[in-house]
Amino acid sequence: MILHNVRIAWKSLKRNRSLSVLIVAGIALGIAVSTTFATVRHSFAKDPIPGKSRGGLYYVRMDSWDPARPYPGPDATLPPTQLTYRDMAEIMKSDIPKRQSGTFKTALYVFPEDKTTQPFRENIRLVYSDFFPMFDVPFRYGSGWDKKGDAGPEQVVVLSEAMNDKLFGGGNSVGKTVRISDRDFRVVGVLAHWEPSVKVFDLTQFQIDTPENIYMPFNLLKPMQLRTFGNSDGWGSSGGQTGFDGFLQSETCWIQMWVELPDAASLAKYKDFLAAYVMEQKKHGRFQRPLNNRVSTIREWMKDQRVVPPETTAMLIVSLLFLAVCAVNLVGLLLGKFLARAGEVGVRRALGASRADIFLQHVVECELIGVVGGAIGLLLSFAALAALNAWLKTTVVNPRAAFFHLDVPMVLLSVGLSLAAGLAAGLYPAWRTCRLSPAVHLSLQ
Amino acid sequence: MEFGPIFRSMRRNKVRYGLIVAEVALTLAIVANCVNMIRDYKRQLAIQSGFDDDNIIRVTSRPFAPAFKEDGYLDNSLREDLAALRAIPGVRAVSNTRFLPWQGGGSSMETRVLGSKGEMLRNQVYNADEGTLAALGAKLIEGRNFAREETESETLRMRQIFAKPRPTGADGTPLEKTSQDIIISKAFGQLLFPDGKALGKHLEDTDGDQYTIVGVIDRFYNPYGWPIHEYVMFFPSYSRNFLGGAGYLVRAEPGKRAAVQASIEKALIKANAGRTVQVQELTQIKERFQSRTSLVATILSTLIVLLLFITSLGIVGLTVFSVNERTRQIGTRRALGAQRADIIRYFLLENWIVTTLGLALGIVLAFALNVTLVARVSSPKMEPSLVAAGVFLLWIAGLAATFLPALKGAKVAPAVATRNV
């Protein structure tokens, strides 16, 4: 029965081609626009590490900022986005978290073995060994280093897939040596392809950059006298401290801190621990602002950092209203189309079709329009997203490939919107059509 | 005028007219809000840096050869770089500075008027040499520029002071305060001294180190993460180190930028190898910084055009439908003596009433949508004049979309009325 209705609907669409093209194009445009901008927003907003965003992994902030005024971010109630080195070093001594890691990025020269290749400067992330299991980082060869590697610190590195290709032409490079700055490092692990949707472990800047290609033990900071290449926010007096050691002792905030707390009990315990740490520091004249510690889930941290650009929300709202206009427009066009066929409906009714039959047939026709329009719309939005990805390449220094892409939830959303638009637009015209009195229209034939 | 029949007809066909009302209302709300946002974006894009953006080139030298770890070698290499850059034909000015306009950030510090005990104010801070203002094309409106010897001696003096920890007093700040001459922007001067001249006045920072304002530049705008885009101080110093390398700004004669840019890397590597040199024109950095805003503005403009097209299509469709349905009525009216102009007027009036109802609802919707957008995405407040312009435009569009179908309706022959009755 439905199949029969689909066939009638298809014939009806083919009968008045130019009107059908107009109708389908209208709905396709609405679906294309709304799917595209829903996907754009979703690309920023979605769970970067599925499963980890609701709990377990937490970003740590403490308000060590200037007593005279709040940290100058967009929201004055929030503490600084990063920790000072000395605070990170102290709270890392806690044994409450199952895993924990401070992290920052630097940039150093890498000297390829092949002497004919120019040395190149590469962003390098400093992490503790816990970093890899915490963020579910997948390894192709080898693994991260162990606690001994942290403590040493050993001169070891983990390479991304791309860096392994660049330096060693791919393959299992575990055990090989790579020269970085003025030291030799042993490769202990090579990552499999790893690209969380946003650069979740460092949301302080360039959130849609490709993750760093080289990882090394955090404690190399001091022996190599490394500098951060991320943000560093300072305030207040230097206390006479100068140079590298002065920087480590200063109130400058420049380190990101992550902890893994498996359950509510350990979360509560860790919060108490942080509060006690700050209260203790207050006695020494530091942390003079009100107690304002944050142990945030990835979602909360993403919200505070405004990872979703407000423009994408604005465009999503506008594009959904755009779809609404397309649907309203469709109602008018369908109404005209269906009522123009009153005579034909009259014949069917006179031959015994019930109102329900007529209604169903017209609703099916609307849904067919929705599906065809939706499919074209989906293709259009595929093209639009590809264009946006090409744009990213020209504007972001180091963007990941295909940052904007239609994933399963977005395709389902698109299909759902198409069906809903077809139904919403078709119900009233179908109802009006089935209510036509057969006699009047037959008499006009 | 046929208000009576129109209202009676509208009462009988609530849905059909309701659709146009809804469509017009939504369109007004969306278009007014989009234009409102676009205007805000255009305002942002139009902000001038105050520099000769078109002719400036950014050069970054990043050493990897161990020789560069030595202070003397770095200093020599810096001098040779500046000389090599100046020697390129078509170069107007050269500077060694960490300042890079339009990169969306930089470095900042806190200062206040010396002895004021007032609130510390945050400002951007960069090193500058004798060529920085010329390389930026910034206009000095008061005081003096830094001299080359001054930059050289200040670099050495400050390097010595900061080579080791500074003894501190009871308040935790260094006992011996430093003093430096600085050049600031006019806007920062006005912030510090709302009712006086800034030139010759003194500032202090959070360590109590002191600064004397010796020059003021006309305009400075560098977008920063914090709201200090127009506040800057420059201090005389060269800046280079092994890890960070050295940064230069090169300003070319008008029309010579591309030629200058092409010869920079070779000139610098010839002066000193063992490093990589990155060369980029400022217009590209600026474009990247503004790309998101300009793309969003383009997208919203496209959406407006598509939307107006669809809405007009909807009005045309419904009017055609309405005319077709009333062929016999029109024939009857014509038979009873109505002129073609009367028929056209009837449809135009009908459409005008419907559009106006839609616009009235649309005005409410436009402001409601604006409230949402202001709250959720900090878009600017709606300007009533913009809504008024939208109302006017949609009136015209509505009448234009009605005119052709109405004309067709007017052509119905009076004889039609006699058929099929």
Selected residues 386-415 of chain A with any CB under 8 Å from a CB in chain B = 391, 394-397
pLDDT band with cut points at 50, 70 and 90 for residue A347 = confident
| pLDDT in the model for residue A445 | 46
Q: What is the arithmetic mean of pLDDT over A324-348?
A: 84
Is A91 an interface residue toward B (CB < 8 Å)?
A: no
Q: pLDDT tens, A179-223?
A: 999 899 999 999 999 888 888 899 998 888 889 999 999 999 999
Q: How far is A328 from chain B (nearest CA, A)?
A: 6
Same domain, A104 and A39: no
Cβ-based burial of B340 (10 A; exposed 0-12, middle 13-18, buried ≥19)? middle
Instruction: Report the residue from A231, A236, A310 with minimal CB separation from B377.
Output: A310
Interface touch A182/B295, C-beta < 8 Å = no
Bridge-based pairing state of the strands A139-142 and A120-127: unpaired
Residue ending a domain, choose from A272, A304, A336: A304
pLDDT at residue number A319: 93
Of B66, B303, B378, the CB nearest to A182: B66
Per-residue confidence (pLDDT) for residue B286, from 0 to 100: 92
Terminus-to-terminus CA distance in chain A, angstroms? Answer: 28
Cβ-defined contact of B29 to A120 (cutoff 8 Å): no
Question: Has residue A396 got a pLDDT over 90?
Answer: no
Does A101 score more than 80 pLDDT? yes
Specify the pLDDT at position B419. Answer: 67
Q: Which of A304, A323, A345 is the last residue of a domain?
A: A304
Query: Between B312 and A296, where is the model more confident?
Result: A296
Number of domains in chain A: 2
pLDDT at B112 over 90: yes
Shortest Cα distance from B64 to chain A (angstroms)? Answer: 6
Backbone angles phi, psi at B248, to 5 degrees: -130, 150
Q: Could you tell me if A40 lies within 8 Å of chain B, comparing CB atoms? A: no
Task: State which residue of chain A sits closest to B325, comparing Cα positions.
Answer: A340
First to last CA, chain B: 28
Both tokens assigned to B102: 């339009």
Shortest CA gap A355–chain B (Å): 20
A 206-245 residues inside an 8 A Cβ radius of B: 227, 231, 234-243
**Residue A172 and residue A231 share a domain:** yes
Judgement on whether residues A264 and A152 belong to the same structural domain of the protein: yes
Chain B residues close to A119, C-beta within 8 Å = 64, 276
Tell me: do A141 and A257 sit in the same domain.
yes
Contact A333 B26 (CB under 8 A): no
Model pLDDT, residue A132: 95
> Do A339 and B320 lie within an 8 Å CB cutoff?
no
A118 part of contact set with chain B, CB < 8 Å: yes
Q: Which residue of B has its CA nearest to A32?
A: B303
pLDDT at A434 over 90: no
Q: In this predicted model, what pLDDT tens digit does every residue of B262-283 receive, in sequence order?
A: 999 999 999 988 899 999 999 9
pLDDT at B421: 45
What's the CA angle centered on A278, arms A131 and A90, to 5 degrees? 40
Q: Do B15 and A428 count as a contact with CB atoms less than 8 A apart? A: yes
- The string of pLDDT tens digits covering residues B293-308 is 899 999 999 999 988 8
Q: Are residues A394 and A437 in the same domain?
A: yes
Where residue A54 falls among pLDDT bands split at 50, 70, 90? Answer: low
Among A322, A427, A432, A435, most B C-beta atoms within 10 A, so best to mutate, is: A322
Residues A124 and A9 reside in one and the same domain: no
* Range from A140-149, B65-74, B93-102 carrying the lowest mean pLDDT: B65-74
Nearest CA distance, B167 vs chain A (angstrom): 6
The answer to whether residue A325 neighbours chain B at the CB level (below 8 Å) is yes
Of residues B265, B252, B224, the one with CA closest to residue B99: B224
Query: Which one, of B376, B366, B397, B394, lies nearest residue B36 by Cα?
Result: B366
> If pLDDT is split at 50, 70 and 90, which confidence band does B136 have?
very high
In this complex, which of B37, B303, B314 lies closest to A332 when CB atoms are compared? Answer: B314
Do A208 and A177 belong to one domain?
yes
- Residue spans of beta strands (DSSP E) within B64-120: 91-96, 108-113
Give the rounded percent of residues in chain A with a pLDDT score beyond 70. 97
For residues B170-184, give the mean pLDDT. 91
Residues from chain A that touch B16, judged by Cβ atoms under 8 A, are: 332, 335
Band the pLDDT of A52: cuts 50, 70, 90.
low
Interface touch B376/A317, C-beta < 8 Å:
yes
CA distances from A369 to A148, B71, B306 (A): 65, 74, 20
Burial class (CB in 10 A: 0-12, 13-18, 19+), A27: buried
Which residue among B27, B105, B226 places its CB closest to the CB of A72?
Answer: B226
Residue in B19, B242, B287, B309 to test binding to A, most A beta-carbons within 10 Å: B19
Question: A4 vs chain B: nearest CA distance in angstroms?
Answer: 29
Residue B399 distance to chain A (closest CA, Å): 17
Domain boundaries, chain B: 3-47+290-419, 53-285
Q: Which residue of B has its CA nearest to A71?
A: B226
Domain termination residue (choose one: A281, A304, A327) = A304
Highest mean pLDDT, choosing among A355-359, B133-137, B338-342: B133-137
pLDDT per position as a tens digit, B373-404: 888 877 889 989 999 999 998 898 888 888 88
pLDDT, tens digit, 9 for 90 and up, residues B330-360: 888 888 888 888 888 888 888 889 899 999 9
Q: What does the pLDDT look like over B246-267, one tens digit per residue?
A: 999 999 999 999 999 999 999 9
On the question of pLDDT at A437 being above 90, the answer is no
Q: What is the pLDDT of residue B1?
A: 64
Tell if the CB–CB gap between A321 and B313 is shorter than 8 Å: no
Residues A246 and A374 placed together within one structural domain of the fold? no
- What CA–CA distances, in Å, run from A414 to A10, A11, A401, B90? 22, 25, 23, 56
**Contacting residues of A for B243, CB less than 8 Å apart:** 107-108, 227
- Cβ distance B299 to A315 less than 8 Å, yes or no, reads yes
Average pLDDT, chain B: 89
B420 contacts in chain A (CB < 8 Å): 444
Name beta bridge partners: B122. Answer: B110
- Side chain identity at residue A435, one-letter code: R
Report, as an integer, the average pLDDT of A2-24. 82
Distance from the B16 Cα atom to the nearest Cα atom in chain A, whole angstroms? 7
Min Cα separation A187/chain B (Å): 22
How many C-alpha atoms does A33 have within 13 Å on its Cβ side? 25
Do B165 and A241 make contact, defined as CB atoms within 8 angstroms? Answer: yes
DSSP string, A400-440: PTTSS---HHHHHHHHHHHHHHHHHHHHHHHHHHHTS-HHH
Residues of A in contact with B207 (CB under 8 A): 237-238
Q: How far is B253 from chain A (nearest CA, A)?
A: 27
Of A24-28, A334-338, B186-190, the range with the highest mean pLDDT is: B186-190
Is there a contact between A22 and B313 (Cβ–Cβ < 8 Å)? yes
Do A212 and A195 share a structural domain? yes
Which residues have a Cβ under 8 Å from the Cβ of B393 and sit 6 or more positions away?
B31
Query: Min CA distance, B173 vs chain A (Å)?
Result: 5
User: In 10 A of CB A409, how many CB atoms?
Assistant: 12
Q: Do you find a cis peptide bond into A153, omega within 30 degrees of 0? A: yes
Chain B residues touching A309 at Cβ < 8 A? 292
Q: Answer yes or no: do A296 and A317 share one domain.
A: no
Alpha carbon of residue B41 to chain centroid: 6
Taking CA–CA distances from A393, the nearest residue in chain B reads B288
Q: Is A151 found in the same domain as A258?
A: yes
Contacts of A444 in chain B (CB under 8 A): 420
Residue of A nearest to B300 (CA): A315
Alpha-helix residue ranges (DSSP H) falling in A131-202: 131-134, 147-151, 161-168
- Domain holding A408, by residue range, is 2-48+309-444
Same domain, A428 and A336: yes
Interface test with B, best of A245, A311, A391, A393 (most B CBs within 10 A): A311
How near does any CA of chain B get to the CA of A399, in Å?
A: 13
